[in-house]
Chain A
C-alpha cells in the first residue's frame, strides 16, 4: 500500500486522457525510482507551464505566451487562415507542419441540442480578424461530423460578404486506404469528390 501522497499522485495521473490506473502506477514508479532524471525535470516543466500558461487572445491557442508562438511567427503566411474546432485540432494540423498560415480556434462546434450557440464560440473574433483584411483564404477544417459540417456551413455563410476564398478540407479516401476496407459512406463521399487526374 502506497502512502497517501503517492496514492494522490497516482490518481491524478490516472485521470489523464490516454492513461489509466495501470499506466499511472507504472509512471509513478518510474518517477520515484528516477527522481533526479525524471521527477525533478518534470516538476520544473510543470511549474514553468503553470506559471506562464496563456490562451492566445488572437487565435485561441493554448501556449505560454500571448500572442502564441504560431501567431508571433513572422515566417508564416498571414494571408492564410485555418479555422478549427479545438486546440487539439490545431496541434494535430501543426504537428504535420503542412499548413503554412495562421489558425483560429473556435472552442467547439454549434450544437442546438447541447445548447452551444454561435455566441458561445469564438466566431465574432474570427469575423473581426477577417474584416480587418489581409487574409485571402479561410480554410474551414471542421470535423466530418454533422455538427462540424453545420458549423462549417454557418461560418461560410457568415464570411460570404468578405473578399476571401473559403475552402474546406476534402472528405474521402484516406492515404494508404484500401477500397475494400472503407465503409460505404466514405466511399460514396470519395466518389462524389472525384476529380480529373490531369
Chain B
C-alpha cells in the first residue's frame, strides 16, 4: 500500500529533506527538517500519538519504536535516518481485529497503570520476542532494563512478557 502526499517545499525556514518511510505497512513520503526526530514525525506529522515522549534523552525507553525490526529511541532518532526503512509503532502491533499476544498479556497481567510507558515496553518486548531465541526471565529483565515505568514496580511487566515467551516456547516456533 502506498500513500503519496505532494507537499510544496517550504519557501522559508530551514531546508527540508525528502523521506520515504514505511510506517506500520504504509509508505509515507514527506519533506522534513534535517533535525526532525522520529517521534515528532510520528506524533505531529502523521498524527500517530500512540508513541509517547518522556525523558527526551534516550534514557527511559518510553518512545521506543522499531526501525527495520530494531528498537530505537524515537526521541533522538533522526527522521532522515529512517528514510527507506520500515517503522513499526504501537499502532501497528495489532491488526485492528485481534490484539497482539503481548498486548493481550499486558492487559491480563495488569502490566500497566497510567499506561504512559506501555507502548515503549510493548515495542521493546516485541523486538526481543521476534528474535531467534525464546527469552527466559533473566533475558527479559536484561532486555527491558532501559525502559522506565514509574507506576507498576515492574513485576507485572516481566510476568506479562514471560507469559508470551512461554507460549512461544510451547507453540509451533518453540
Do these two chains interact? no
